[in-house]
Copies of this chain bind each other. A is one copy, B any other.
Amino acid sequence: MGRWEPNARGRLEQAALELFVERGFEQVTVTEIARRAGLTQRTFFRHFADKREVLFWGQGALQELLVSAVASAPHSAAPIDAVAAALEGAGAVLQQRREFARQRQAVIAADAGLQERELIKLASLASALADALRQRGVTDPAASLTAEAGIAVFKIAFERWVGETAPAGLPELIRESLAELRAVTAGR
């Protein structure tokens, strides 16, 4: 008890997701998550601030990844290409954890409060991307439109990726969705 537990974080995450899927996010307590993982509450709180953080802890890292990728895109890259490259890079990281992503999505889909939290997360990513584009000298409304378009592409690619049984890779789906967005906005 209280000492360092090898892979405690991963065990807690897996236990939490299992319980959320089985019984719904609201019904599960931190005590139950810790018990299922064979760990203490105290260990849980060394890794996560609360049970919601099990589902959202990656947001800060994702945002940083996107912003720094936009910042470091070649100066000659068009804004949409800087954003697309950033999203594909993030997609390559995210796709290493498809089973986690699938379970997480199922938990969120079943809880209105978590769906709101997910919308806020996406809006905050869009706003960070727009700021990163402004830093590159992109003016508005192009900066906000490019960022919103990028997040729409990402959202839909992500939903396809978690929803299909044998999907293409997430970066490929992001590329396809952007191509599709180009086609639909062009009126094709």
A152 at the interface (CB under 8 A from B): yes
- Please report the C-alpha to C-alpha distance between residue A23 and residue B144 in the assembled complex, in whole angstroms: 30
Does A181 contact B177, Cβ atoms closer than 8 Å? no
Instruction: Report A31 CB to chain B, min CB distance, Å.
Output: 29
A149 at the interface (CB under 8 A from B): yes
Does A181 contact B185, Cβ atoms closer than 8 Å? yes
Does A182 contact B185, Cβ atoms closer than 8 Å? yes
Instruction: Report A61 CB to chain B, min CB distance, Å.
Output: 22
Per-position 1/0 for A19-55, Cβ under 8 A of B: 0000000000000000000000000000000000000
Per-position 1/0 for A64-101, Cβ under 8 A of B: 00000000000000111100000000000000000000
Number of copies: 2
Does A177 contact B145, Cβ atoms closer than 8 Å? yes
Stretch from A1-9, A10-18, A103-111, A116-124 forming part of the interface with B: A116-124
Instruction: Report A19 CB to chain B, min CB distance, Å.
Output: 26
Query: From DSSP, what is the main secondary structure of chain A's interface residues?
Result: helix
Instruction: Report A129 CB to chain B, min CB distance, Å.
Output: 12
A184 at the interface (CB under 8 A from B): yes
Which chain B residues border A119 with CB–CB below 8 Å? 116, 119-120, 123
Among A123, A153, A178, A184, the most chain B Cβ lie within 10 Å of the Cβ of A184
- Please report the C-alpha to C-alpha distance between residue A183 and residue B183 in the assembled complex, in whole angstroms: 12
Known A145-B152, A149-B152; 15 more pairs at CB < 8 Å = A78-B184, A78-B187, A78-B188, A80-B184, A80-B187, A81-B187, A119-B119, A141-B156, A141-B180, A148-B152, A148-B156, A149-B149, A152-B152, A185-B185, A186-B186
